[in-house]
Structure 1
Amino acid sequence: MSSLNSSLMENLSFVRPEYFYISGFTGIPFINYYFIFLIFTYIIAVFGNSFVAVIILTDRSLHVPKYLGIFNLALADIGETNALIPALIKTFFVDSQYISYDACLVNMFFVFFFSSVQALTLVVLAYDRFIAICLPLRYHAIVNNYFMSVVLIGVWSVCSAFNGTTVALITRLSFCKSNVVKSYFCDYGPVYSLACNDKTINSVMAKLCSTLFIYIPLIFIVLSYLGIFLALSKITTWAGRLKALKTCVSHLLAVGVFFLPIIITYFATYVSMSLSPNARIINTSLSNAIPSMLNPVIYVLNTKEFKVYLMKMIKKRSSVNLEKKT
């Protein structure tokens, strides 16, 4: 009887807020300039990644495993950019920092989902480079379009399952006190930390997702490049080493752009404890927004096939303009 009464009390005291208040950018000096930068970031990210995706789709010579991975990364970049930045820009223009409970969970899922897809896609591309350089004679037997397609489908499935489960666990929480989220979007940690009932499983899932989508991918990528550098050291000529290493430059830059801001922010926050809340919010928001903007620039400028395609488009446009003039 007592257990029945306690369960009834729990149900009666369960509170699901109508909305959350996103307080992340409140009180940050010169924040107007940051939102202007976000608009610029959004335009470059959407158009740049769309450009990369269209090139890969239309050019049959790029229908190979490596470019399937790059295409997947471009889709993830577009997805995360649209999940994150428009909501931030809306906060600036409409001056509304309120978000409904359901919209908060949807926003949370898509931001983390696409970020996770980005991280695991970088791992897949690292594996592609590892096989290409360390086992060049077996590359086409090991890594082919079917293999890459299956792996990428697996990436989307794993990210969907883990992030869906993690976000769904928010619905078991009761928010009987504050509804102010101290972040720049519906961030998982700041949201579940507001709950009044037991949130142990939420904390466990947060650590599990961090391990699965940040630490393990980074460790795998580092180990892959240790193997690559070992293989490069066995190449007798510097020209041969540089030629092989050049194929990794774009991926290394993309890895650095994605992981370094996250590592620096977490290190400064949890080790030195010197990062102010405002600086942490700006840094973490940049670590989510910047990679999606820079990835297409990195791949277009460092990939011969993209540059050739771009030059063809420019020459075609120039010839059309000349014909119109004549």
Structure 2
Amino acid sequence: MYTNVSSSVLLSLAPLGISDSNIYPAFLFGTVTYLLIMFFNLLVLAAIVVSKKLHKPMFILLFNLPINDMMGATACFPHLVYSVVTQDRLISQPACITQAFLIHFYGTGNFLILSSMAYDRYVAICCPLRYNAVMTPQNLIKIIASIWVITFSIIVTLILLLARFKMCRTQVVGLFCNNPSLLKLVCDDIRVNNYYGLVIMCLIQGGALSIIIYTYVQIIRTCVMTNHPDARRKALQTCGSHLVVFLLLQCNTLITLIAHRIESASPYMRRVLGVSVVIFPPFFDPIIYGLKITELKQSIKGFLRRGVVSIKG
């Protein structure tokens, strides 16, 4: 019979393996990385809010990505940085499960957001005459609401399936809490959890990959056939940024999930890959979009200039 997780039990996360002489450099590196992630993503959000020319479906969908990235980074970094200084790797089960929820919410949300952005670019480039009729404000609200509702429903179910077990171990194999690591603490039959995880992984990552492949094949075909070099260059520039961001997330997440399911995989490799999922996408997403999408880059520059002028004034 399954029982609920006891909130009084403390779990022990994998040791960081940082020597005393490297504690403060590691603390500084983690803190600066987290602050840069927050700054870059907040900058993209502010530029989209302030610039009226960015109040278009493409950028409104993009607006959700920095929010999601900041949530993923915040779920991991503050506790990780705190652990570096204190060398305290203990965490309560409710806090661990909450962290796992936020990490998986962030990953699933990113795939759905990037898929919706791919669809927006497909309609804009392949069906430009229908774009305003398809991407209406009402439909845009439905797409965004669907992203968050679907993500919440999937991850709540994942966590509820986990929380029904009583954990018989306390040593988490990862540097932070996630579903595969927490399932390793359970001594009961976890086949249902594994089946659900595999199905969701195939649906979310496989579905996102299918959407990306289909839309980009159509976009490339349209760009090759168009007689307007400027329009072709702009379309490929925008889509190239999106494709790089998607592949970064897809490869990183897929390798990490596979490593967790291979018993012979190095625990150090699992830890490095796990942390990279919450470092690389949140750090590089705003940089890639900010540098490659001309409209966004100009808006960011304008926002920063106004900020400098207001400070001097």
Global fold match (TM > 0.5): yes
Q: Which residue of 2 aligns with 1:197?
A: 188
Instruction: Report the counterpart of residue 303 of structure 1 in structure 2.
Output: 293
Structure 1: how far apart are the matches of 2:95 and 2:301? 43
Q: TM-score, length-normalised on structure 2? A: 0.88
2:136 aligned with 1:144:
yes
Q: Aligned with 2:175: secondary structure?
A: coil
- In the alignment, structure 1 residue 64 sits paired with structure 2 residue 64: no
Q: How far off its partner does 1:244 sit?
A: 2.3
**Alignment-derived partner of residue 81 in structure 1:** 73
- CA distance, structure 2, for counterparts of residue 212 and residue 202 of structure 1: 15
For the residue of structure 1 that corresponds to 2:166, the secondary structure is coil
Q: In the alignment, residue 157 of structure 2 is paired with which amino acid?
A: T
Out of 12, 16, 24, the residue aligned to residue 25 of structure 1 is 16
Deviation at 1:318? 5.9
CA RMSD of aligned residues (A): 2.8
Asked if residue 130 in structure 1 is aligned to residue 143 in structure 2, the reply is no
- Give the superposition deviation at 1:240: 4.3
- Listed as ranges, the matches of 1:28-39 within 5 Å are 32=23, 36-39=28-31
Q: 1:3-31, CA deviations, whole angstroms, 9 ceiling, x for partnerless residues?
A: xxxxxxx47x9874612111153479997
Match of 1:248 in 2: 239
SS in 1 for 2:244: helix
Q: Is the 8 A contact 2:97 2:178 kept in 1?
A: no
Give the whole-Å Cα distance in 1 for the aligned partners of 2:125 and 2:240. 13
1:162 aligns to 2:154 (yes or no): yes
Identity %: 25
1:58–1:230 distance in 2 versus 1, CA, 3 Å: same
Do 2:14 and 2:171's aligned partners in 1 also have CA atoms closer than 8 Å?
yes
Contact 1:181 1:190 in 2 (8 A): yes
1:185-224 superposed matches below 5 A: 185-224=176-215
1:115-126 to 2 correspondence within 5 Å? 115-126=107-118
Match of 1:99, SS state, is strand
1:247 match: secondary structure: helix
Question: SS where residue 109 of structure 2 aligns?
Answer: helix
In the alignment, does 2:269 pair up with 1:279? yes
Letter in 1 for 2:301: M
Structure 1 residue matching 2:160: 3-state secondary structure: helix
Is contact 1:15-1:174 (8 Å) kept? yes
Residues 28, 22 of structure 1: CA spacing in aligned structure 2 closer, same or farther, 3 A cutoff? farther
Bigger mean CA deviation after superposition, 215-224 or 259-268: 259-268
For structure 2, the 5+ residue unaligned runs are none
SS of residue in 2 equivalent to 1:20: strand
Structure 2 counterpart of 1:124, which letter? S
Q: Residues 30, 293 of structure 1: CA spacing in aligned structure 2 closer, same or farther, 3 A cutoff?
A: farther
SS state of the match for residue 185, structure 2?
coil
**Structure 1 residue 35: Cα displacement:** 5.1
CA contact (8 A) 1:24 1:181 kept: no
* Alignment correspondent of 2:46: 54
Does the CA-based 8 Å contact 2:180-2:260 persist in structure 1? no
SS in 2 for 1:140: helix
Distance in 2 between the 1:318 and 1:198 partners? 59
Shift of 1:269: 7.4
Structure-1 residue corresponding to 2:103: 111
For 1:237 and 1:29, locate their aligned partners in 2 and report how far apart those are by CA, in whole Å.
60
Deviation (angstroms), 1:143: 1.4
Is residue 173–residue 192 contact of structure 1 (8 Å, CA) maintained in 2?
no
Give a deviation string over 1:140-181, Cα, whole Å, max 9, x none: 1111332122111111001111101111112221223x2111
Q: Which runs of 5+ in 1 are unaligned?
A: 1-9
Could you tell which deviates more after superposition, 228-237 or 217-226? 228-237
